[in-house]
Structure 1
Amino acid sequence: MYLPDYDGGSIANLMASLARACGSWASPCPPLAELPPARLAAVSNLVLIVVDGLGYDLLAERPGPLRPYLRGHLTSVFPSTTAAAIPTFMTGLPPSRHGLTGWHMWLREVGALLAILPLSARPGAPLAEPLPPRAELPQRLFRHDTLYQTMDRTSYVVSPHFIADSPFNRYHSRGAVKQPYHGLDGLFAALGQLTAKAGRKFVYGYWPDYDSAAHEHGCRSPQALAAMDAFATAFCAWLEQIRGSDTLVLITADHGFIDCPPERQIALADHPLLAECLALPLCGERRAAWCYLKPGKAPVFEAYVRQHLAHAARAVPREQLLAEGWFGPGPCHPELAARIGDYALLMADDWVIHDTLPGEAPYTLIGHHGGLSPAEMRVPLLVARP
């Protein structure tokens, strides 16, 4: 297992450096030693670009135009997934504090199992009560400030147009100016316009296309590599355009990737005795699944995993995850324990586990993340000073 390094080597620590450089002490984690806040504070334009899914291992093994800017690697958070990491980028808080723990989350505040980024109910999952309108959910579910609300310089959030005005993004962009864009050219056009503005500023940009291709086709597929190469080419051209500006650009990612072949994808329906132990559908991620058990089923659950799935998974009780600080330093979000089930099923090697609910369209992914392999946990740190 490759656990997060919240003591000084994770994306949470990167955000601590950036926050303190911008006059904010919102992050509870220490800053990165290699990026001291005083060095960052001296720059007029601080730009952070998050390339969704771009793992360090993939970048390090391929020569290309990004390699000269590669300074090393950081760890993601746990679980290594967009739903837990993007809130860390936008708040400076580790998952222990912001309380967002995976794509699918059981949220007892509204009695529903939601996909947390689109804030949509999972088809076929139980609803304890009618779900409030999506626009009202952030105020019910989130209780954290954003970094931009606490910074002493103007902040901008540059997001794809199709998520820029979502309820999740609106909540996590509070205090910043939202800048939607269309396509890769639009991303760098927006970044160029913002860095040309007068004044000291922090700019956060997010690009999702590599992640989308890696999920569908595999993280080293021609489609995924083409997306990465397109980003690299556009990035280097943009650096030339802003050369001589007082700008520091940082690139990292929310998580890395591994490919999981069909024969390594475990369907819960093939293990009815295991499914019988569960009070709710699987939550979290296919590489790190939160399991909510029926009363008295813990011994049966543990024994089944040990006897039938030991080659592919280990069952870790919630109490161990919390006691060992896998989600980051405390004090923990008051709902954290309720959002990670009774056990985590942590998948080994390139195994995943999934369920399909009645009325839910089955889908198969090749590229996955969320687990604790080095390929999923290690993300790059690139630094450019054009």
Structure 2
Amino acid sequence: MRARRRAGCAASLWPCRASMARSVVDAPGGEDNNAVFPIGIAAMSNLKSRCSGAAWPDYQGGGLLNLMQTLSWELGGPDLGYPPLATDVLAGIGHHRHVCLLLIDGLGAAQLRRLGPETRLNLRRRATLSSVFPPTTTAAVTTVLTGQPPARHGLIGWHQLHGEEIIAPLPLYVRQPAGSASAPQQLADTLFSAPPLFEHFSRPAFLMLPEDICHSPCSRHHAGSSMRLPYRDSEDAFVQLTARLYSPVPAFHYLYLRQMDTLMHEIGPDDEAAARLLAELDGDFGRLLDAAKQNDAAVVAIADHGFVAAPAEQWLDVDEIPELYSLLARPLSGETRMSYCHVKPGCMERFIELARARLGHACWVEPSAELLAAGVFGPGPAHPDLAHRCGDVVLIAKPGWNLRDTLPGERKLQLAGTHAGVHPDEMEIPLIVYRP
């Protein structure tokens, strides 16, 4: 182990709980928007000035959260308490017999324009929205399924701190410590707290999910009492959904498609194979619209996030900088484009100084409290563990860069395409609408 002892810092590498960042969102009175809004404006202004060119989420009418507020209103669900979409393209959508929400994982606005400019999907794009922060499946899909921002549902990365363990919230495994006895259902019971949204719509809701995750603890919680329907592949998914549109009973249908995301992680977001896969999905989409036209079905298609290329020479191994890594109380969590750092007590100032000196070419080094105060995770009241999960410092990768550490027993992660940062290509998602 390459830890180095530094005066004023705890000596061991992983044993202690990091000091919590405290911010306005989890302070007493944080539920009062009038109390926190001026501070949020100032903090966001400062953040934008430090992170040149970054794209931050819109929670005021132009984002994924606002889409879910509007859909909930239109479909007889609860008022979630957030501004509706600024655009009126979904006004009255609840009058249609069927309403379909297709979530095409990873198909950001930039990818749709570049890979399929003449596709039906792109030609029916009515607006460009922002995802949430971080723009990644864990945070964004949970916002879709609960109608709550990451600040409230508390799922903020592929890996995140839960209690004293670093876990993966979707597949529900423990990354650290090794040999943890925590089982997936046990983790789910203590991790998932935001109630599911779709079961509260005034019409039956059906969730169509890949068969290997359809009955997982994560899917069971976020579907609630709504029916979950497994599918084998995208062709099977569209066949099933098309058949359901012929029912005379009004319904809401949610279809989650992950094929684009899987492929772009493997080959990158600009490969010709991604364009071919998009063309196949677009053909399925066109056939779905034929059935929708016959059956008074509205179809909305969105993404959870976009993508950026991840050049192999721009992966930075934080654990290979021992004077910096030894200041951490536990491994990195979050994502390779956005990492949460839990720093040993008394070491934060030194960590920020060293990180900016050694990593500043590759990432912005931001105190977690600044991000919380700026409201990048969305409006509160915040999840009680949000500040603890964010740690003390957040490393936000600059264009082209990825950050990683590798624990014993892990293979070094290398992907051709990534997301979860603040490049516009990661943050911007399309709003695609068909109404008969």
1:57 alignment partner in structure 2: 110
State which of 144, 148, 157 in structure 2 corresponds to 1:93. 148
Residue 66 of structure 2 aligns to a residue whose secondary structure is helix
Q: Does 1:159 align with 2:209?
A: yes
Amino acid aligned to 2:139: A
Stretch moving more, 73-82 or 301-310: 301-310
| 1:204 maps to which of 254, 263, 285 | 254
Q: CA deviation at 1:338?
A: 1.1
- Give how far 1:15 is off: 0.7
Q: Which digits, 9 at most, give the CA deviation of each residue in 1:73-131, with x for residues without a partner?
A: 100000010010010110111101101000001101xx321111100111xx226x953
Cα distance in 2 for residues equivalent to 1:247 and 1:319: 45
Deviation string, structure 1 residues 235-268 (Cα, Å, up to 9, x no partner): 1122123322111101110000000101111011
Match of 1:242, SS? helix
Q: Does 1:46 align with 2:96?
A: no
Letter in 2 for 1:41: G
Amino acid at match of 2:155: L
What is the 5 A alignment of 1:96-245? 96-108=151-163, 111-122=164-175, 125-126=176-177, 130-245=180-295
Q: Which residue of 1 aligns with 2:48?
A: none
Q: Structure 1: how far apart are the matches of 2:89 and 2:303? A: 20
Deviation at 1:10, TM superposition (A): 0.7
User: What is the root-mean-square deviation of aligned Cα atoms in Å?
Assistant: 1.5
User: 3-state SS of the aligned residue for 2:213?
Assistant: helix
User: What is the alpha-carbon distance in structure 2 between the residues aligned to residue 95 and residue 28 of structure 1?
Assistant: 15
1:138-183: per-residue Cα shift (whole Å, max 9, x none)? 2211111111232111001010111101111111111211011111
Query: Bigger shift: 31-40 or 75-84?
Result: 31-40
1:37, distance to aligned residue in structure 2 (A):
6.2
Q: Secondary structure at the match of 1:12?
A: helix
| SS in structure 2 of the partner of residue 362 of structure 1 | coil
List per-residue Cα deviations over 1:348-376 (Å, max 9, x = no partner). 11111001000112231010000001000
Gaps of 5+ in 1: none
Q: Give the TM-score taking structure 1 as reference length.
A: 0.95
Q: How does 1:1-386 map to 2 (within 5 A)?
A: 1-25=54-78, 27-35=80-88, 38-61=91-114, 62-65=116-119, 66-108=121-163, 111-122=164-175, 125-126=176-177, 130-386=180-436
* Alpha-carbon distance in 1 for matches of 2:97, 2:290: 18
The alignment partner of 1:30 has SS state of coil
* Counterpart residue identity of residue 117, structure 2: P
In 1, Cα distance between equivalents of 2:103 and 2:429: 10
Q: 2:30 corresponds to which residue?
A: none
1:200-227 CA distance string (max 9 Å, x none): 2111110001101100100111222222
Greater displacement, 375-384 / 146-155: 146-155
SS at match of 1:135: helix
Runs of 4+ in structure 1 off by over 3 angstroms are: 35-38, 129-132
Contact 1:289 1:353 in 2 (8 A): yes
Of the structure 1 ranges 67-76 and 132-141, higher mean CA displacement relative to structure 2 is found in 132-141
Change (3 A) 1:96 1:173: same
In structure 1, how many angstroms separate the alpha carbons of the residues matched to 2:81 and 2:275? Answer: 36
Q: CA offset at residue 193 of structure 1?
A: 2.2
Equivalent position amino acid for 2:147 in 1: G
Q: Cα 1:86–1:347, aligned 2, differ >3 Å: closer, same or farther? A: same
| 1:273, distance to aligned residue in structure 2 (A) | 1.2
Relative to the length of structure 2, the TM-score reads 0.85
- Please tell me whether the aligned partners of residues 55 and 380 of structure 1 are also in contact (alpha carbons under 8 angstroms): yes
- Counterpart of 1:29 in 2: which secondary structure? coil
Task: Please state whether the residue corresponding to 2:106 is helix, strand or coil.
Answer: coil
Look up the equivalent residue of 1:303 and give its one-letter code.
E
Task: Give the structure with higher Rg (CA).
Answer: 2
Question: 8 Å contact 1:26–1:93 — kept in the other structure?
Answer: no
Aligned-residue identity in percent: 37
What is the SS of the residue equivalent to 1:344? strand
Report what 2:28 is aligned to.
Answer: none
Unaligned residue ranges in structure 2 (runs of 5+): 1-53
1:248 counterpart letter in structure 2: A
Query: Matched residues in 2 for 1:216 and 1:248: separation?
Result: 33
Q: For 2:349 and 2:367, locate their aligned partners in 1 and report how far apart those are by CA, in whole Å.
A: 12
3-state SS of paired residue (1:254): coil
CA shift for structure 1 position 132: 3.4
Please tell me whether the aligned partners of residues 292 and 298 of structure 2 are also in contact (alpha carbons under 8 angstroms).
Answer: no
SS in 2 for 1:164: coil
User: What letter matches 1:107 in structure 2?
Assistant: H
Contact kept in structure 2, 1:314 and 1:345, CA below 8 Å = yes
| Matched residue type, 1:60 | R
The answer for the alignment partner of 2:40 in structure 1 is none
What is the letter of the counterpart of residue 292 of structure 1?
Answer: H
